Amino acid sequence: MERILNWGLLSTAKINRALIKPLNASKRTRLLAVASRNISSAEAYAREWKIPRAHGSYEALLNDPEIDVIYNSLPNHLHAEWTIKALRAGKHVLCEKPFAVSLKEVDAMIAASKETGKVLAEAFMYRHHEQTIKVKEIVDSGELGTLQLIKGAFSFKLEREGNYRWMTEMGGGSIWDVGCYPISYARTIVGAEPVDVFGWQVTGEGGSDEVFVGQMRFKNDIHMQFDSSFRCPHRSYLEIVGSKGVLKISNPFKPGKTNTVQLIQEDKEKTINIRGGELYMGEVDDMCDAVLQGKSPRVSLADSRNNTAVILALLESAKSGKLVIV
Ligand SMILES: NC(=O)c1ccc[n+]([C@@H]2O[C@H](COP(=O)([O-])OP(=O)(O)OC[C@H]3O[C@@H](n4cnc5c(N)ncnc54)[C@H](OP(=O)(O)O)[C@@H]3O)[C@@H](O)[C@H]2O)c1
C-alpha cells in the first residue's frame, strides 16, 4: 500500500477548483488544508470545499507538519518566493504555470529543489493528457512527413477587474498567462528549443501585454507562429503542418474526456477520436509518482526553465523590435 500524500492549497485562487476534484478522487492524495492571507476567508473556503484545515497565513500552512505537498496557485510574481519557502519547509511543490517570470527566479527554485531533495514541478496540466501524448506520437511516427510549421492561439476576454493579469509587476500579460501554452506545446512537439524568436505586443494601462503575436524559428527550418490575447474572444487551437499532412487540434490546451483531432493527408480528412481522463488528474498523478515512486516529473525543471527563457526572449524582442537569439 502506498502512503497517502496530504496536500495543502497555497491561497484561495480560482484555479484551485480544478485541483480539488482530482485531489478528492485520487486514492493517493488527501486535500488536508487551505491557506489564505486572511483566516476568515480560509475558513469560509474550507467550509465551502469541505477541507479539514484552514490556515490564516501562508507561513502557517508551510509550518503544518502533516502537509506533504503544496499546490502553489499564487499570482505569477509570487511563484518563486513561496515555492522556495515551501521547499525549504520540507514540502514538495506543484507550482502553477508560468513557473516564474525571470530566469534568476527559476534558477533559485531549481536550486532549492536540488538542495532540499524535494520534488518540484510546473502544473502544465495539458502535458499529461492522452490527447497531447497521442499528438506527439503521430508527429514522431512520421505520418505528417517532415515537420514544417506549427500555428497556435490562446485568447480570451479578460474581464476580471483589478486582477494581477493586467499588471506587469505581478507577472501579468497574456504571454505569461496563455501564450505560455502554445509556446510550450510547440517546443514539446519539435522536441527542441527555438534558435531565435520575434515578437510584437500591444500593452495596456498596467504595462503588460494584452495582445502578443510571436514567431519562433527552430533548426531544420521549422517555424512556429502564435498569438495570445486578453482582448479577443476565446480561441484555442493548434495546427501542425508537415510535408505530407496536417494535424488540426481544436482544443489543445484544455482537452476533455472525448476529443477529436483532424488528420489531413492528400485532401483526405480523417477524424481521430481520443478518449482522455480528468484533465487535472494527470498532474496530481505525476506528482504522486514522483514523490512516492521516485519517478521524474513529466515536465522537467529544464523544460520549465527553457519555456521561461523563450517567453523572456519574445518579450525582449517585442520591446526592442529586434530578432532575439534564445
Ligand atoms: N493550469 C491552469 O489551467 C490555470 C488556470 C488558471 C490560472 N492558472 C494559474 O494559477 C495561478 C492563479 O491564477 P488564478 O486566476 O486562479 O488567481 P486568482 O483567482 O487571482 O487568485 C490568486 C490568489 O492569490 C492570493 N494572493 C496573494 N497575494 C496576492 C496579491 N497581491 N494579489 C492578489 N492575490 C493574491 C489570493 O489568495 P488569498 O486571498 O486566499 O491569500 C488570491 O485568491 C496563476 O499563476 C495562473 O497562471 C492556471
The per-residue pLDDT for range 258-302, each reduced to its tens digit, is 999 999 999 899 999 999 999 999 999 999 999 999 999 999 999
- Which of 95, 123, 151 is the C-terminal boundary of a domain? 123
Query: What is the pLDDT, as a whole number, of residue 267?
Result: 86
Shared domain for 110 and 132, answered yes or no, is: no
Q: Is residue 239 part of a domain?
A: yes
Q: Has residue 2 got a pLDDT over 90?
A: no
Q: Is residue 297 part of a domain?
A: no
What atom of ligand 1 comes closest to residue 41's alpha carbon? 40
Angstrom CA distances, 204 to 39, 172, 212, 229, stand at 34, 11, 11, 11
Q: Is residue 285 part of a domain?
A: no
**CATH at residue 69:** 3.40.50.720
- Which of 123, 151, 169 is the C-terminal boundary of a domain? 123
Query: What is the pLDDT, as a whole number, of residue 305?
Result: 98
- Which of 98, 123, 148 is the C-terminal boundary of a domain? 123
Shared domain for 189 and 40, answered yes or no, is: no
Describe the chain by its helix, strand, coil percentages, rounded to 5. Answer: 40, 30, 30
pLDDT band at 48 (very low <50, low <70, confident <90, very high): very high
Q: Which residues line ligand 1 (CB under 6 A)?
A: 11-15, 18, 36-37, 41, 73-76, 78, 96-97, 123, 125, 163-164, 177
pLDDT band at 312 (very low <50, low <70, confident <90, very high): very high
Cell of 79: 511563484
Mean pLDDT, rounded, of the chain: 98
Q: How many domains would you assign to the chain?
A: 2
Amino acid letter for position 138? I
Shared domain for 83 and 137, answered yes or no, is: no
Among 9, 14, 105, say which to mutate for ligand 1: greatest number of ligand atoms within 8 Å of CB: 14
Q: H helices within the chain, ranges in order?
A: 16-25, 39-49, 58-62, 79-88, 103-116, 130-141, 174, 180-190, 281-293, 301-320
Report the pLDDT averaged over residues 248-253: 98
Q: Is residue 199 part of a domain?
A: yes
Report the pLDDT averaged over residues 95-115: 98
Cα angle at 8 between 82 and 257, to 5 degrees? 105
Q: Is residue 81 part of a domain?
A: yes
Q: What is the pLDDT of residues 118-160, one digit of tens each?
A: 999 999 999 999 999 999 999 999 999 999 999 999 999 999 9
**CATH at residue 168:** 3.30.360.10
Q: Has residue 1 got a pLDDT over 80?
A: no
Give residue 76's domain range.
5-123
